[in-house]
A and B are shown apart, each in its own frame.
Chain A
Amino acid sequence: MSTIATTQFGFSLRGILFRRRTLGFAALPLLVALVVVVVLAVTSVPGRYSSVSTLTGTLLTGLVVPIVALVLGIGAFGDERDGRTLPLLRGTAAPRWRLGVARWAAAWVATVVVCLPATVACAVLGVSVNLPVLEVVGGVLLATSLTAAAYCAVFVLVSLVTRRGLLAGLAYVVLWETFLAGLAPALRGLSIGSYGRRVATLAVPGDVPLATVASSSVTTSAVVLAVVTVVAVALSAVRLQRMDV
């Protein structure tokens, strides 16, 4: 990536990470980490077993990652629109797709960083019940990263399509991802979270169940998340090229 794009990425990342809103939402993953500490302190090893899937699948991948990605992904362009700095960002000689990629990458990295306490905590919990270290750590990290990438890409796109991106994204997370996608197996094929939870099964192998996972394999789920990411980032680039700012 060129210097211009890396500068754009660095400037965007600093802007996203040091926002008050980001610091406020950083409490959410910290809360998950706190819950893990409590679980480790008060339950025996067999008792923790089901907590691994609940905390990793339902809480981390199913709630914390989408909420943090929503706030940071929408803010990647939404705040620039509100602050009237989007014309400045677009008003450069650099190709506009680079701006879209850099902003998505910044939102993605920021989301992964903000979710890191919860990710590490979930991995520690998995290791504590004697699950294979490599699979647990790799699985939790991969699930968080890929799910965050897809959610961020979608929310960055939403922020370029509507000025009420936060509201639209929240409705999507709450109604679709959390509620409707859990009603029928067929709907899970249209849920980013269900693919993320399937990837998270890498971290909880064997007979540990995860609710509302996609029926596809882990590899297919990872590919689906990657495809969603690429398509959404590409659409953001097209939107950036054509939209009025």
Chain B
Amino acid sequence: MSANAGSSVVQLVGVSKWFGDTVALSDVSVDVGPGVTGLLGHNGAGKSTALQLLAGATRPSQGTVRVLGTDPHRDPQVHRGLGVVADGEGTWAHASARSQVAFLARQRGVRDPERAAAAALDRVGLTAAADRRVGGYSKGMRQRVKLAQALVHDPQVLLLDEPLNGLDPAQRRADVDLVTALGAEGRTVLVSSHVLAEVERMADRVLVVVNGRLVAEGEPAGIRDLLVDRPRTVRLEGVRVSELAGALLAQGLVDSVRRSPDGPDGRSRGVVVEAPRAGALAEAIPAVARATGTTLHRLEPVGEDLESTFAHLVRAARGAGR
């Protein structure tokens, strides 16, 4: 699988990582080139582990990790071209934003660290507060200090782990623009999130990680179709729902209809339908319900758990030639 195929800057080959009995990543191979690539997955899916491996913070249990052609865990020189926003705190509370960003610039061999720090802080919109102790910053401001730390040495590769966490809507917009601009400058940016809408706004391509496995890859619109417009079991409750289900069946929007078992209080719980494409069903229901005179009280997916999502994505990925 390759994302932003072309010159490979970031590469995982058959990488697995486990902590005791817990498998965080399982046989992941990915090849990422310049531009913004989104790493999408639920909390605990393995996104942070993948980014930590690429940042050289940890070693793979199995497989090979390459960033800019070298092993990031063994070769410190890789950090000349690598900027990382890691999960968690990652700032020094006792120091000002300017001093800690300049300190890191010096550590990374930047010629004029003060000037580079000022430029990085300006880019993330922290110039006015740059000389205050970071301990007094809001969470959003600390997140921006982390971005400035990652940008100060003008790296070719950026690994951003949930960089929008803790930001207010205005800051999110600004940072989405910033990440997009970084990708447009020709940098290789790998940005993680558990929110598809966020990734869609930043990334040209998306990698989906579920339970430590890379299960899908593609353009954001395609990934949205995979996640949203997939087969689903849906329960319909209300007045004249049988008529509604019949009409949906007649129009080919659902494959089957069955009566839902009554609730514990003896009341009818409507009907359960199997929809091959949940997105199409959702779009059609209002008009069909009006046509059949149905009043819907409840419409809910059934058996909507992580495992079913995972199974679907694995099937879809296999179907796509993985």
Q: Restricting to B69-93, which residues have a CB under 8 Å from any CB of A?
A: 76-77, 79-80, 82, 84, 86-93
B291 — which chain A residues lie within 8 A by C-beta?
Answer: none
A94 — which chain B residues lie within 8 A by C-beta?
Answer: 76, 107, 109
- Pair A93/B106 contact, Cβ less than 8 Å: no
A14 and B76 in contact, given A4-B107, A93-B108, A245-B58 (Cβ under 8 angstroms)? no
Shortest Cβ distance from A245 into B: residue = B57
Q: Restricting to B36-80, which residues have a CB under 8 Å from any CB of A?
A: 52, 55-59, 76-77, 79-80
A24 to B43, CA, bound (A): 39
> Does residue B201 face the partner (Cβ distance < 8 Å to A)?
no
> Does residue A91 face the partner (Cβ distance < 8 Å to B)?
yes
> Does residue A18 face the partner (Cβ distance < 8 Å to B)?
yes
- Pair B80/A83 contact, Cβ less than 8 Å: no
- How many residues on the A side are at the interface (Cβ–Cβ under 8 A)? 24
A244 — which chain B residues lie within 8 A by C-beta?
Answer: 57-59
A7 — which chain B residues lie within 8 A by C-beta?
Answer: 103, 106-107
A15 and B80 in contact, given A83-B89, A92-B104, A92-B108 (Cβ under 8 angstroms)? no
A8 and B95 in contact, given A91-B82, A245-B58 (Cβ under 8 angstroms)? no
- Pair A92/B76 contact, Cβ less than 8 Å: yes
Shortest Cβ distance from B77 into A: residue = A93
B55 — which chain A residues lie within 8 A by C-beta?
Answer: 87, 91
Mark contacts of A213-245 with chain B using CB atoms, 8 A cut-off: 1 yes-contact digit, 0 otherwise: 000000000000000000000000000000011
Shortest Cβ distance from B104 into A: residue = A88
- Pair A15/B95 contact, Cβ less than 8 Å: yes
Shortest Cβ distance from B84 into A: residue = A91
A90 — which chain B residues lie within 8 A by C-beta?
Answer: 56-57, 76
A-B contact count (CB 8 A): 76
A96 and B88 in contact, given A3-B106, A88-B149 (Cβ under 8 angstroms)? no
B290 — which chain A residues lie within 8 A by C-beta?
Answer: none
- How many residues on the B side are at the interface (Cβ–Cβ under 8 A)? 31
A18 to B95, CA, bound (A): 10
Q: Restricting to A74-97, which residues have a CB under 8 Å from any CB of B?
A: 83-85, 87-96
- Pair A91/B89 contact, Cβ less than 8 Å: no
Q: Restricting to A49-102, which residues have a CB under 8 Å from any CB of B?
A: 83-85, 87-96
A87 — which chain B residues lie within 8 A by C-beta?
Answer: 52, 55, 57, 84, 86, 90
A96 to B77, CA, bound (A): 11
**Nearest CB of chain B from residue A227's CB, rounded to whole Å:** 28
> Does residue B94 face the partner (Cβ distance < 8 Å to A)?
yes
A93 and B89 in contact, given A11-B95, A11-B103 (Cβ under 8 angstroms)? no
Shortest Cβ distance from B58 into A: residue = A244
Q: Restricting to B99-117, which residues have a CB under 8 Å from any CB of A?
A: 99-100, 103-104, 106-109
> Does residue A19 face the partner (Cβ distance < 8 Å to B)?
yes
**Nearest CB of chain B from residue A242's CB, rounded to whole Å:** 8
B109 — which chain A residues lie within 8 A by C-beta?
Answer: 4, 93-94
Interface centre among A4, A11, A90, A91 (most CB of B within 10 A): A91
Instruction: Tell me which of B56, B94, B95, B103 contacts A91 (CB under 8 A).
Output: B56
Mark contacts of A1-31 with chain B using CB atoms, 8 A cut-off: 1 yes-contact digit, 0 otherwise: 0011001100100110011000000000000
A83 and B93 in contact, given A92-B104, A93-B80, A244-B59 (Cβ under 8 angstroms)? yes
- Pair B107/A8 contact, Cβ less than 8 Å: yes
A88 and B90 in contact, given A8-B107, A93-B80 (Cβ under 8 angstroms)? yes
- Pair A85/B90 contact, Cβ less than 8 Å: yes
**Nearest CB of chain A from residue B70's CB, rounded to whole Å:** 12
A15 to B93, CA, bound (A): 9
**Nearest CB of chain A from residue B250's CB, rounded to whole Å:** 58
Given A83-B89, A91-B79, list of 10 further CB < 8 A pairs? A7-B107, A11-B95, A11-B103, A14-B94, A18-B94, A85-B90, A90-B57, A94-B109, A245-B57, A245-B58
> Can you list 18 pairs linking A and B with CB atoms under 8 Å apart?
A7-B103, A11-B95, A11-B99, A18-B94, A19-B94, A85-B90, A85-B91, A87-B52, A87-B84, A88-B90, A89-B107, A90-B76, A91-B57, A94-B107, A94-B109, A244-B59, A245-B57, A245-B58
Nearest 5 pairs of A and B residues by beta carbon: A84-B88, A92-B107, A244-B58, A84-B90, A84-B89
| Interface positions of B (Cβ within 8 A of A) | 52, 55-59, 76-77, 79-80, 82, 84, 86-95, 99-100, 103-104, 106-109, 149
